[in-house]
């Protein structure tokens, strides 16, 4: 699939696009109007598909996310309306293939989004064809895609898709039809919930009491909390916890193998958070006898949207489960966040 250079139209073999639309590779560095347009596309798509845009990235986040790092590359293409000129509204869709570079070299994490007003014109299909061409050129053999769906699922079996594990179901909609037509199968379902946390004095006292009760109950364990970069003392332990996220967490039928983590990768990951304008708030459970971290949870707060926090990884090592450490560490981190960032209103 020939590309003559950044900003040139991509020739989509076998696809017919409207005359006013072209698909082009995203240049590096990306022009600000392109990134802002991609953020607009993502927000509009999330609002249409899931009913909110809580998970949409900020412009700063996405501008950094599309840049290559030592651990991944993210080739990206955008669909442009040539009538709109160089402005965010000209971006009507985008697609990407995120490629791990140190492990899971068979994988590509892929995504396509199109503004609702421009759907059913062949734009999503054209973006996908270019993403797929990149995946094949990189020698990747498995694509993973994530989609957003309403929580309410139709009762009619013909309007439902069940995960291969038998646990989890989504409704048949444009996203499921698009992916199934291209050979995808539903491997796993995750629930996204929203927690309102306007912490008044009584709420804060009650949460602090819950954390204190956990400390009394969990003999032999303690809580460690911080925000920002990982303290040097805990880099190795956090690396092991991230590795365990790829081995100890249920992955359903996902074709995902163990990830390679060390202190350098942890440091890079948290430096990337800072570059994207994301402040990490972390709490971990320390096993006192071994002085090692055996559980942790991470919240990320965008500096451009301080009223919201993203609940990221949470894990308790298998050998320490069954002690309610997961609930305790999350309670501790909510207290950590609300005490240090009272502007946050929801997770």
Tens of pLDDT, residue by residue over 5-60, are 233 344 444 457 888 999 999 998 999 999 999 999 999 999 999 889 999 999 99
Parallel, antiparallel, or unpaired: how do β-strands 160-162 and 169-171 relate?
antiparallel
Are 110 and 73 in contact, with CB atoms under 8 Å apart? no
Q: Where are the domains of the chain?
A: 21-148, 201-340
Q: Which residue has the tokens 């055996």?
A: 294
Q: Which fold has domain 201-340?
A: Aminopeptidase (3.40.630)
CA terminus-to-terminus distance, the chain: 42
| pTM for the predicted model, two decimal places | 0.88
Least confident range of 3-12, 128-137, 162-171: 3-12
Least confident stretch, 11-20, 60-69, 137-146: 11-20
Q: Please enumerate in sequence order all residues whose Cβ is within 8 A of that of 207, keeping only pairs 6 or more positions apart, or say none.
A: 199, 331, 334, 335, 338
> Are the beta carbons of 112 and 95 closer than 8 angstroms?
yes
Higher-confidence position of 94 and 8: 94
Q: How many CB atoms lie within 10 A of CB 212?
A: 12
| pLDDT tens per residue across span 281-319 | 999 999 999 999 999 999 999 999 988 999 999 999 999
CATH class of 21-148: alpha beta
Could you count the other beta carbons within 10 Å of the beta carbon of residue 31? 12
DSSP string, 102-159: SS-TTEEEEEEEE-GGG-SSSHHHHHHHHHHHHHHHTT--EEEE-----S---SSGGG
Closest CA to 177 of 191, 192, 158: 158
């Amino acid at each position: 699939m020939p590309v003559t250079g950044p900003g040139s139209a991509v020739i989509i073999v076998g696809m017919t696009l409207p005359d006013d639309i072209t698909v082009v590779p995203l240049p590096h560095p990306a022009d600000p109007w392109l990134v802002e347009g991609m953020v607009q596309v993502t927000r509009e798509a999330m609002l249409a598909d899931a009913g909110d845009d809580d998970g949409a990235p900020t412009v700063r986040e996405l501008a950094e996310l599309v840049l290559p790092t030592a651990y991944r590359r993210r080739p990206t293409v955008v669909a442009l309306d040539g009538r709109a000129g160089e402005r965010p509204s000209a971006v009507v869709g985008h697609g990407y293939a995120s490629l791990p570079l140190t492990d899971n070299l068979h994988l590509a994490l892929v995504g396509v989004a199109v503004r609702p007003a421009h759907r059913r014109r062949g734009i999503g299909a054209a973006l996908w064809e270019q993403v797929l061409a990149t995946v094949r050129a990189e020698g990747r053999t498995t694509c993973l895609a994530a989609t957003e769906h309403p929580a309410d699922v139709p009762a009619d079996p013909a309007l439902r898709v069940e995960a291969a594990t038998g646990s989890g179901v989504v409704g048949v909609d444009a996203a499921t039809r698009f992916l199934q037509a291209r050979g995808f199968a539903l491997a796993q379902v995750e629930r996204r919930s929203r927690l309102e946390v306007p912490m008044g004095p009584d709420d804060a006292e009650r949460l602090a009491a819950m954390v204190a009760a956990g400390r009394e109950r969990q003999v032999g364990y303690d809580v460690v909390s911080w925000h920002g970069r990982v303290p040097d003392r805990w880099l190795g332990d956090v690396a092991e916890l991230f590795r365990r996220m790829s081995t100890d967490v249920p992955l359903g039928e996902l074709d995902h193998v163990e990830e390679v983590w060390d202190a350098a990768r942890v440091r890079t990951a948290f430096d990337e958070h800072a570059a994207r304008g994301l402040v990490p708030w972390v709490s971990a459970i320390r096993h006192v006898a071994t002085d090692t971290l055996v559980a942790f949870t991470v919240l990320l707060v965008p500096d451009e949207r301080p009223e919201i926090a993203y609940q990221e990884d949470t894990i308790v090592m298998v050998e320490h489960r069954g002690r309610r450490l997961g609930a305790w560490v999350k309670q501790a981190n909510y207290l950590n966040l609300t005490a240090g960032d009272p502007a946050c209103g929801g997770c």
